Structure 1
Amino acid sequence: MPEPQVAVSAVTLVKEYGSGDSTVRALDGVDVQIRQGQYTAIMGPSGSGKSTLLHCLAALDTPTSGEVRFGGDTFARLSDNKLTRLRRERIGFVFQSFNLVPTLTAEENILLPLAMAGRKPDGRWFDQIVESVGLADRLQHRPAQLSGGQQQRVACARALITRPDVIFADEPTGNLDSTASGQVLALLRQAVDEFGQTVVMVTHDAAAAAFTDRILFLSDGRIVDEMSQPTAATVLERMKGLDAGFGQSVVVATDRSERAGV
């Protein structure tokens, strides 16, 4: 069986904030390849650089040095207009805070990326996504009329509607209870298994990471370990070894998820 192709990669990626004595190196020479059709988690202690790495891979932030390659494109060689088009048409985003437009209905929020690109929706694909997220009876509701879990499922549907090359999710369950978290994580898993999507997710939660195919562990801006076919128990054990404080936070998150049956 051939190796999956690379969807996005980073080469000697460095990201610094500030200058002089106050310079903070958030990423310190990261090399990584994200494979197509896989669900990858990025984990690490607070301040390890995991969200910075996600934002650089998703063209939301510009590295200080090194490069990001997305398919056949290198971000640094693209004009601002081409980068904007790439983010709109080839990348899907799911954020912790949902980022829905409050004045639009759920259906309008889902279709927003297509509307901005001047593209007509594929009716069959739209129906398939809506069925997957379980929101057929909520399409005419605005975000304020939806629960947090429903809002995040709308955000997942919006990320899927353009059939992007990669979906980037930054702590997508951070604002959700355990039941809603499980629904969103299962939906992202389904996007990979049934729709052939590529998903990259930042999380601090071992139970969430157990939904993925592969985990990259960051510490002090560097990838220090990785794991394939994780379980909540093996993730927890690995994180305890990387950082005692972070390991304790993962224990709390995992215990909470297990009590709720996630």
Structure 2
Amino acid sequence: MNTSPTNHDTRQSPTAAPGTAPAAPPMSMNAPARPTAIQAIGLRKTYGEGDATVRPLDNLSLDIESGRFTAIMGPSGSGKSTLLNMLAGLDTPDSGEVFIGETPLSKLNDRRLTAIRRDRIGFVFQSFNLVPAMNAEENILLPSQLTGAKPDRQMFRRIVDLLGLGERLKHRPHELSGGQQQRVAVARALVARPDVIVADEPTGNLDSNAGEEVLGILRASVDELGQTVVMVTHDPRAAARADRVVLLADGRLAGELTEPNPDSVATALMNVTNAGGAR
């Protein structure tokens, strides 16, 4: 498989508004290439017809690098949630292709696609999605139970220790704070050692302290466990924890930042939003 679409370059910077500095320098072209965990090529998606037509993705191509933390941002309606769903195999494009490693998702039947989502992608949602009748340990090990695989107890213990859940394993979700519930959800996503963690607004239902805690855990999963994380967020402070911020507008790539900080992310997002409003 050719892992780089012809003439495809996502390393553009967002157009700066008059009087503002560029959001961030592009990535050095001399930086060593990393393996690609997920590749999207020419994704298009359209809903509705006529005057009601909405096109959340418009010929969008993107590589998600392995072992890095990528954040996806953009104004409301820019296509970021649709893109995340397609990268995770939860939605299908009208045209284009998504590869998980070397595997093209469009070529899979429902059974194999379900297996890909179960075995190679870990999900962290805004709403936690824990099973109320199960305690924390049972929720974390649920994917292993569903597949009949024997859980890796060493990895389980390492993740539990990393997330500080050792004293909470026998508690059910209603006995945990929101931050603790999200830590359980992150542990559940990590314990099966998926290729990619997909996080959709993972701090959206948390207060600022709990949100920072969860972001720190996602960051640590990359730095300490070598995990690949791709996250949709509207929060510049959350996005600044990533290695790379990809900006969308009108279903297309609008630029990206490397080595982001909250100010550079906020400025870039403002520039993209203003540019869209000016059209």
**TM-score of the pair, normalised by structure 1:** 0.91
Taking the aligned partners of 2:133 and 2:57, their CA distance within structure 1 comes to 37
User: Higher relative contact order by CA 8 Å / sep ≥ 6: 1 or 2?
Assistant: 2
Deviation readout 1:75-119 (Å, 9 max, x if unpaired) = 011111111111001000000000111111110110011111111
Q: Which residue of 1 aligns with 2:13?
A: none
* Displacement after TM superposition at 1:2 (Å): 4.1
Equivalent position amino acid for 2:81 in 1: S
Following the alignment from structure 2 to structure 1, what is the Cα–Cα distance between the partners of residues 237 and 63? Answer: 23
1:15 alignment counterpart: 45
Structure 2: gaps of 5 or more residues: 1-30
Residue 32 of structure 1: CA displacement?
0.3
- Specify the alignment match of 1:221 in structure 2: 251
The partner residue of 1:4 within 8, 11, 34 is 34
Q: Distance in 2 between matches of 1:245 and 1:93?
A: 32
Q: What letter corresponds to residue 128 of structure 1 in structure 2? A: R
* Residue 184 of structure 1: aligned partner: 214
Query: What's the CA shift for 1:244?
Result: 4.5
Where does 1:108-257 land on structure 2 (aligned, <5 Å)?
Answer: 108-244=138-274
Is 1:29 matched with 2:47? no
SS in 2 for 1:31: strand
CA distance in 2, matches of 1:49, 1:96: 18
Q: CA deviation at 1:18?
A: 2.0
SS of corresponding position for 2:225: coil
Query: What are structure 1's unaligned runs of at least 5 residues?
Result: 247-262
- Percent identity over paired residues: 58
Per-residue Cα deviation, 1:238-262 (whole angstroms, up to 9, x for no partner):
112111499xxxxxxxxxxxxxxxx
Q: Distance in 1 between matches of 2:49 and 2:38?
A: 29
Q: Which runs of 4+ in 1 moved over 4 A?
A: none
Task: Name the CA shift for 1:143/1:245 in 2 (closer, same or farther; >3 Å).
Answer: farther
In structure 1, distance between residues paired with 2:201 and 2:236: 12
More helix by share: 1
**One-letter amino acid matched to 1:40:** T
- The alpha-carbon deviation at position 223 of structure 1 amounts to 0.8
Q: Which moved more, 1:1-10 or 1:144-153?
A: 1-10
Aligned residues: 246
- TM-score, normalised relative to structure 2: 0.86
Match of 1:42 in 2: 72
SS at match of 1:104: coil
Aligned to 2:3: none
Aligned-pair distance for 1:59? 0.2
